[in-house]
Amino acid sequence: MRNLKVIMAYRGTAYHGFQMQNNGITVQEVTQRCVSRVLNEPVIIHGCSRTDAGVHARRFCFSVQTSSQIRTLGFVRGVNGELPKDISILSCEEAPPEFHARFSCKGKEYAYLLHCSESKDPFTTDLACHYRRPFHAELVEAAAQRLVGVHDFRSFCSACREDADTVRQIYSIRLRQQGEKTELLIRGNGFLYNMVRIIVGTLLDINEGRIPAERLDAILAAGDRQFAGRTAPAHGLYLNRVFYDDAVLDPE
């Protein structure tokens, strides 16, 4: 039995997230059907993350076991020929038998894209969050550094169970700007449900003066979702990269 490591990208607008569910079409459902057709056998693909409805992915990893002898390039070409236009296979390679896209993962990097302009951009309607207010990059970037490190992020989690482990390590939060486009890159060893979107929403509240930057320490200490800021819209969020090597997780 072969084990394949596959990197894909998708536009999440039309999907209820990655993971298979009963209440809507998902990326896993569509991709798994196409992969099974190309491999000529029913398979289950294992994704590195669930991702919420409307969230996108630039480099998402899934693993799949198969008895097919198809070449890796043939897999890429064959599956891409079956997939809809909003999902693409970027690469495929042989992986050790023990490799699992989710459980072998050491960390992830998310990107959140803002279109900072008074006027909306019809070409980024579902690909970036339209943000009309002035964006104070230095204020936001300085505030974000308070979240870097090992913290209990329970205040930045939606519907966390009481017994859930909510301690995570954020390795870096970086900000990139080009014209009207602002991108926040958040890299960590793991993320809670809605954690990135709540972090971004809280930073936007700080940008607008609704929350003082120095209150972030108290928000972390509170361990209560109600103390953090708003949840940023899903359509601005991208799973940017997935890491399977501890050595590359440190900030660049």
Output the domain CATH number for residue 185. Answer: 3.30.70.660
Q: Is residue 79's pLDDT more than 60?
A: yes
| Domain end marker among 94, 115, 141 | 94
Same domain, 157 and 62: no
Residue 100 in domain: no
Residue 231 in domain: yes
Mean pLDDT for the chain overall: 95
| Domain end marker among 94, 123, 141 | 94
* b/e per residue 1-26 (b: at least 16 CB within 10 A): eeebbbbbbbbbebbbbbebeeeeeb
Residue 48 in domain: yes
Query: What is the token pair recorded at 165?
Result: 């482990």
Query: What is the token pair recorded at 52?
Result: 């919420």
How large a percentage of the chain has pLDDT more than 70? 98
- Nearest residue to 106 via CA among 39, 191, 37: 191
Q: What is the pLDDT of residue 249?
A: 67
Residue 250 in domain: no
Residues classed as catalytic: 52
Residue 171, classed as helix, strand or coil, is strand
Q: What is the pLDDT of residue 57?
A: 98
Same domain, 144 and 205: yes
SS3 content of the chain, % helix, strand, coil (to 5): 30, 30, 40
Q: Are 146 and 216 in contact (CB under 8 A)?
A: yes
Same domain, 120 and 36: no
> Which range (11-20, 68-77, 141-150, 241-250) has the least confidence?
241-250
Number of domains in the chain: 2
Same domain, 137 and 169: yes
Same domain, 9 and 36: yes
CA distance 175 to 143: 12
Of 2 and 163, the one with more pLDDT: 2
Residue 69 in domain: yes
Residue 141, classed as helix, strand or coil, is helix
pLDDT-derived band of residue 130, with 50, 70 and 90 as boundaries? very high
Range of the domain at 173: 107-245
What average pLDDT does this structure show over 221-229?
94
If one counts every other C-beta atom within 10 angstroms of the C-beta of residue 233, the result is 17
Q: What is the pLDDT of residue 250?
A: 64
CA distance 16 to 5: 23
Same domain, 74 and 161: no
Same domain, 33 and 90: yes
Same domain, 120 and 217: yes
Same domain, 83 and 141: no
Same domain, 222 and 175: yes
Q: What is the pLDDT of residue 65?
A: 97
| Domain end marker among 29, 60, 94 | 94
CB neighbour list of residue 79: distance below 8 Å, 6 or more residues apart: 31, 34, 35, 38, 89
Same domain, 72 and 114: no
> Which stretches within the chain are classed as H helix?
27-39, 72-82, 137-144, 195-207, 216-222
Same domain, 57 and 6: yes
Residue 99 in domain: no
Q: Is residue 251's pLDDT more than 60?
A: no
Q: What is the pLDDT of residue 161?
A: 84
pLDDT-derived band of residue 248, with 50, 70 and 90 as boundaries? low
- Angle between helices 27-39 and 72-82 in degrees, nearest 10: 120
Q: Is residue 252's pLDDT more than 60?
A: no
Q: What is the pLDDT of residue 245?
A: 87
Residue 176 in domain: yes
Residue 101 in domain: no
What average pLDDT does this structure show over 221-242?
96
What average pLDDT does this structure show over 198-227?
96
If one counts every other C-beta atom within 10 angstroms of the C-beta of residue 217, the result is 12
Scan for tokens 């971004």, then name that residue.
200
Q: What is the pLDDT of residue 159?
A: 81
Q: What are phi and psi of 30, to 5 degrees?
A: -65, -45
